């Protein structure tokens, strides 16, 4: 039964399709019935028969022809409008292209300007960091040289102190220098960070020059990099200032320590240092303190860093002058420590007249022919017998300092000789106005005799345990 129903439905569909085709065919036969055209020529009648198919083809050709004629007529009529429209469209496209090109050029100019600014800041920062690093390195080197010179002086005086001293006596008398604070090591962290920053900026520049960066995005990125460079420069400057503060504190402590040593001699410190500082001539101008000064051209000399540099430079100059003074001033013993001091400086009872008289030096009693040493390097200006001094050696140490060694048994140097610290200049004796073998030792400064005890006391402070 199911199969029969399907056959029935199929036959129904076929019948409907056949009916539609038949209806269309009937419509075409009504619209395009077969037509015959008769004509007579030379007594003969003829006809042309047009089937429905020919009529339909003729109508299609005619319709196509009419449509082409209509299109051509519209194109001719509206040609100017079409051309004008196309020109407007092309003009708009060209204007849009020029705007985009202008934007790209503007972005490129902005990026190039930022690159130039970044390059200028980079060059300026590099020069500034190099200058500051050189200044710090110079201060560190100068401080190290001063420390080395002082250590050398201590070693020489220690050797002088050991001459002729017994083991037990040496352990109590030998003087050891008070060490300076260690010289700070200039950190290389700032330099490593600077190299990283240089590498990053170089990579950006290479990328831009090769055209691999989108302008708008990289303009913002480069701006951020410039800001980071400024921030990093500020951080490096703060680090340099902290190092300067540390150096300044060390230099200040060393200056105070050295001034205390030199002040023990009883001399005016500024008067002594004025002979060791480099001479200044052809100078002048109004006095303006650093606190009042707000900056030079572009503010480059008035910032805190430059003030620190000026202060540290002043400290280092004074420290160098103090170092030169301490290595020049006679602070050591002229004889071995085993010899006793028999007479002091100042008023005393004269051994010949038995009356109070002024004694211009220190007397050290000891065995005849004991060695007598130069208490500082210098030039021999007198080396022969001189009245009550007997055999006398006088050494000019420069900067106004002189020492005298009297009552010598024998003189070991001659006038014009340059002697070193600790060099033997004679042998202890009893020549001249003397009651027995001893050394008469004097210290002179600026043409006036000074108390040698203060100089030896200063030496003990410098090399105190």
Please report, for the domain that includes residue 450, its CATH number.
2.70.70.10
- Indicate whether 335 belongs to any domain: no
Residues 448 and 386 in one domain: yes
The fraction of the chain above a pLDDT of 70, given in percent, is 69
Specify which of 231-235, 315-319, 428-432 reaches the highest per-range mean pLDDT: 428-432
- Predicted pLDDT of residue 214: 52
Residues 350, 314: one domain? no
Final residue of a structural domain among 59, 74, 89: 59
CA pair distance 385, 432, nearest whole angstrom? 8
Closest alpha carbon to 325 in 105, 98, 153: 153
* Of residues 172 and 91, more confidently modeled: 91
368-387: average pLDDT: 94
In tens, the pLDDT along 70-115 reads: 888 877 777 777 788 888 888 888 888 888 888 888 888 887 887 7
Query: Is 68 among the domain residues?
Result: no
Q: What is the pTM of this model?
A: 0.55
Question: Sorting pLDDT into bands at 50, 70 and 90, what band is 370?
Answer: very high
Closest listed residue to residue 194, CA positions, set 228, 245, 153: 228
Residue 266 has pLDDT above 80, yes or no: yes
Band the pLDDT of 350: cuts 50, 70, 90: confident
pLDDT value of position 167: 35
80: tokens are 């100017």
With 80 as the cut, is the pLDDT of residue 122 above it? no
Is the model's pLDDT at 444 over the cut of 80?
yes
In degrees, rounded to 5, the angle at the alpha carbon of residue 250 between the alpha carbons of residues 459 and 292 is 120
Same structural domain, 324 and 344? no
In the chain, what percentage of residues exceed pLDDT 90? 20
Whether residue 220 is found in the same domain as residue 255: yes
Length of the chain: 465
Q: Is 94 part of any domain?
A: no
Does 309 have pLDDT greater than 50? yes
Which DSSP category does 299 fall into?
A: G
pLDDT tens by residue, 11-64: 666 667 777 777 777 777 777 777 777 777 777 777 777 777 777 888 889 989
Q: How confident is the model at residue 286 (pLDDT cuts 50, 70, 90)?
A: low
- So what's the pLDDT on residue 77? 74
How far from each other are the two terminal CA atoms of the chain, in whole angstroms?
133
301 pLDDT exceeds 80? no
pLDDT of 410: 94
Assign 224 to helix, strand or coil: helix
Domain-embedded: residue 167: yes
Quote the pLDDT of residue 445: 94
More confident residue, 361 or 12: 361
Domain that holds residue 268: 111-279+290-328
User: Which residues are bridge partners to 50 per DSSP?
Assistant: 35
State whether 53 and 146 are in the same domain. Answer: no
Q: Measuring CA to CA, how many Å separate 38 from each of 41, 50, 52, 245, 277? A: 10, 11, 17, 128, 143
Instruction: Please tell me the total count of domains within the chain.
Output: 3
Q: Where are the beta strands (DSSP E) in 225-272?
A: none
Residue 461 included in any domain: no
Residue 140: is its pLDDT beyond 80? no
Whole-angstrom distance, CA of residue 181 vs CA of residue 173: 24
For residue 420, what pLDDT is reported? Answer: 93
Highest mean pLDDT among 127-141, 181-195, 260-274: 260-274
- 424-428 and 401-411 strand pairing: antiparallel
pLDDT at residue 95, rounded to an integer: 87
Residue 447 CA to residue 454 CA, distance in Å, equals: 17
pLDDT tens digits, residue range 390-408?
999 999 999 999 999 999 9
For residue 158, name the pLDDT band (cuts at 50, 70, 90).
Answer: low
Average pLDDT of the segment spanning 164-174: 36
| Residue 324 lies inside a defined structural domain of this protein | yes
- Give the burial string for 263-299 (b: 16+ CB within 10 Å, else e): ebbebebeebbebbeeeeeeeeeeeeeeeeeeeeeee
DSSP 182: P
| End residue of a domain, out of 59, 82, 98 | 59
Q: What is the pLDDT of residue 299?
A: 43
Tell me phi and psi for residue 141, to 5 degrees.
-65, -45
Whole-number average pLDDT of the chain: 75
Q: Does residue 116 lie within any of the structural domains?
A: yes
35 and 160, same structural domain?
A: no
Does residue 205 belong to any structural domain of this protein?
yes
The more confident residue out of 449 and 304 is: 449
| Residues forming a β-bridge with 363 | 343, 440
């Amino acid at each position: 039964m199911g199969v029969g129903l399907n056959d029935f439905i199929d036959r129904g569909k076929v019948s409907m399709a056949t009916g539609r085709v038949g209806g269309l065919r009937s419509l075409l036969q009504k619209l395009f019935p077969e037509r015959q055209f008769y004509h007579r020529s030379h007594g003969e009648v003829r006809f042309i028969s047009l089937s429905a198919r020919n009529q339909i083809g003729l109508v299609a050709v005619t319709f196509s022809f009419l449509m082409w004629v209509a299109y051509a007529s519209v194109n001719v009529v509206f040609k100017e409008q079409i051309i004008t429209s196309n020109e407007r469209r092309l003009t708009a496209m060209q204007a849009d292209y020029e705007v985009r090109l202008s934007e790209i050029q503007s972005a490129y100019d902005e990026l190039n300007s930022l690159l130039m600014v970044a390059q200028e800041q980079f060059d300026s920062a590099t020069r500034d960091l190099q200058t500051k690093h050189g200044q710090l390195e110079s201060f560190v080197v100068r401080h190290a040289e001063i420390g080395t010179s002082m250590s050398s002086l201590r070693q020489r005086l220690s050797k002088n102190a050991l001459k002729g001293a017994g083991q037990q006596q040496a352990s109590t008398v030998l003087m050891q220098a008070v060490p300076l604070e260690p010289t700070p090591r200039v950190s290389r962290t700032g330099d490593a960070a600077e190299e990283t920053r240089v590498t990053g900026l170089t990579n950006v520049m290479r990328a831009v020059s090769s055209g691999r960066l989108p302008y708008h995005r990289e303009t913002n990125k480069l701006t951020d990099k410039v800001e980071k460079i400024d921030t990093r420069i500020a951080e490096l400057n703060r680090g340099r200032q902290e190092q300067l503060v540390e150096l300044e504190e060390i230099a200040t402590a060393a200056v105070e320590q050295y001034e205390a040593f030199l002040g023990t001699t009883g001399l005016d410190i500024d008067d002594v240092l004025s002979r060791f500082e480099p001479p200044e001539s052809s100078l002048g101008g109004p006095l303006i303190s650093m606190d009042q000064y707000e900056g030079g051209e572009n503010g480059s000399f008035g910032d805190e860093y430059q003030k620190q540099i000026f202060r540290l430079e002043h400290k280092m100059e004074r420290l160098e002058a103090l170092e030169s003074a301490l290595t020049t001033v006679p602070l050591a013993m002229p004889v071995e420590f085993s010899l006793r001091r028999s007479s002091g400086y100042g008023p005393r009872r004269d051994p010949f007249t038995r009356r109070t008289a002024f004694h211009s030096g220190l007397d050290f009693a000891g065995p005849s022919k004991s060695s007598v040493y130069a208490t500082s390097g210098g030039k021999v200006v007198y080396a022969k017998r001189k009245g009550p001094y007997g055999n006398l050696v006088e050494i000019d140490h420069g900067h106004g300092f002189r020492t005298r060694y009297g009552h010598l048994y024998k003189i070991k140097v001659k006038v014009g000789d340059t002697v070193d610290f600790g060099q033997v200049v004679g042998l202890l004796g009893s020549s001249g106005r003397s009651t027995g073998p001893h050394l008469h030792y004097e210290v002179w400064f600026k043409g006036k005799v000074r108390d040698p005890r203060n100089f030896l006391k200063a030496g003990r402070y410098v090399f105190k345990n």
